[in-house]
Amino acid sequence: MKKKSLLVYGLSAMFLSFALPGPVAAVNNDSCMECHSDDSLERDASAGHSASLFVDIEQFNASVHNFDEESCVGCHTAIEELDWDSDVPHSVDLPNPDCAECHDETVPAWAGSVHAEADVSCYDCHNYHAPVQVAGRLSVAMLQEEFCSKCHNASESHDWLPQKEVHFRTVQCTVCHAPQDSSHVQFRLYDVTENRYLSGNEIMNGLQISGSFMANFDTDGDGVISTAEFQDFGEKLRERNFTTDIRAELNSDDGPMSHQIVAKGAINDCEICHSGDSAIFANGRLELTSDDGEVEFAPVDGKAASNYYVEDFYALSATRVTLLDIIGALLIIGGFGVIILHSGAKKFTKPLREKRKAEQSH
């Protein structure tokens, strides 16, 4: 009897395993790309507005949003399974991904910005499927083109700002318009003959040094390239006949608060940046890009931008340009020289002038 019961239970369990639906297979990225790899795929206007639904898988795979093989549904959480018997294997009325699920500090910062007031969403600035890795990878000009210039023409305003184009070329918009975020001076080496930035490997190979950059130039071992050490770096570049400029930009640190864009309350006081003790220049870093595109940074004293000549980059009361120092010294010496020569000439010609004056009186 006992054996018969076991047989019945076993057959029943086997039958149920076939009769009941099995577990739903996870929706992986490859399944999504069955449709979304088609560059002609788009939402038609009947849904409110047409929009491309194409996903460039190479760009997506290179982005931070590609965190695993099921990362598509990691953001599009409303898709739990795909029905391949339907024209569209999932609902066409999907909610937008909730960025706050991961960016729990960034979204509240955005909520307090003028962008939130104007109903500018994350997607209006960022491509969800190919988010740009901002920090260290894009110049200020590229950032402006990639983000702000899509909606804003900075040249049409900012009339109070001296040398507007220089500021737009070297200062990231968020430095002034998201002042809650910290900032840093970013140094790069620009080859003036080939019109391009040099990679870290090119710099190290050209200087004929091995090991890390810090091991060669951080001579006091404090973990930061000081102004004097930075000047030593510049001297070695000249010794090796580098045809480069050291170029600097003032960038936001691109933390969550860089999304709290403000109009009122933006920095518009020159002395906040252009002063010898400005906190804006507290941090600096030299970009060293490897051949595979990875970016490393060598910490540099931010004041090095004020004490070493960097094109289009200066801080009032702090900048020391040797040529200007020489010109200033010559002007001072020349001024005293004119006074001395004038006094000497008066003394030397005094007898002649007195004789002429006596003759005129007779």
pLDDT digits (tens, 9 = 90+) for 246-281: 888 999 988 899 999 999 999 998 888 887 778 888
Pair 233, 240: CB distance under 8 Å: no
Q: Please, where are the H alpha helices in 126-211? A: 140-146, 164-170, 173-177, 200-207
Q: How many CB atoms lie within 10 A of CB 216?
A: 17
Q: Where are the beta strands (DSSP E) in 204-354?
A: 244-252, 283-289, 295-301
Q: Chain centroid to CA 137: how far?
A: 6
Q: Would you state the pLDDT for residue 285?
A: 92
> Per-residue pLDDT for 198 more than 60?
yes
pLDDT higher at 279 or 219: 219
pLDDT of residue 112: 93
Q: Average the pLDDT over each of 41-55, 114-128, 325-339 and give the range with the smallest value.
A: 41-55
Q: What pLDDT, on the 0 to 100 scale, is given for residue 137? A: 62
pLDDT of residue 16 exceeding 80, the answer is no
Q: What is the pLDDT of residue 10?
A: 52
The better pLDDT of the pair 63, 111 is held by 111
Residue of 170, 167, 172 whose CA lies nearest to 270: 167
Strand partners, 300: 225, 284
Look at residue 47 and tell me whether its pLDDT is greater than 60: no
What rounded mean pLDDT belongs to the chain? 83
> Does residue 184 contact residue 253 with C-beta atoms inside 8 Å?
yes
| Whether the predicted pLDDT of 22 surpasses 50 | no
Answering whether pTM is above 0.85, one says no
Instruction: State the Cα–Cα distance between residues 144 and 139, nearest whole angstrom.
Output: 9
| 8 A C-beta contact, residue 247 and residue 94 | no
Q: What is the pLDDT of residue 139?
A: 83
Instruction: Break the chain into its structural domains and give their ranges.
Output: 132-322
Q: Looking at residues 302-331, what average pLDDT do you find? A: 65
Amino acid at 237: L
pLDDT, tens digit (0-9, with 9 covering 90-100), for 132-143? 666 556 788 888
In this prediction, residue 349 carries a pLDDT of 77
Range name among 176-190, 220-234, 301-315 with the lowest pLDDT average: 301-315
Q: How confident is the model at residue 34 (pLDDT cuts 50, 70, 90)?
A: very high
Sequence-separated (6 or more) residues with CB below 8 Å from residue 325: none
17: confidence class by pLDDT, cuts 50, 70, 90:
very low
Tell me the pLDDT tens digit for each residue of 152-175: 999 998 998 988 988 999 999 999
Comparison of pLDDT for 265 and 303, the residue scoring more: 265
pLDDT at site 255: 87
> Which whole-number Å values give the CA distances from 362 to 353, 354, 359, in the listed order?
15, 13, 5
Residue 353 per-residue DSSP state = H
| pLDDT band, very low/low/confident/very high, at 45 (cuts 50, 70, 90) | low
249 phi and psi angles, rounded to 5 deg: -135, 155
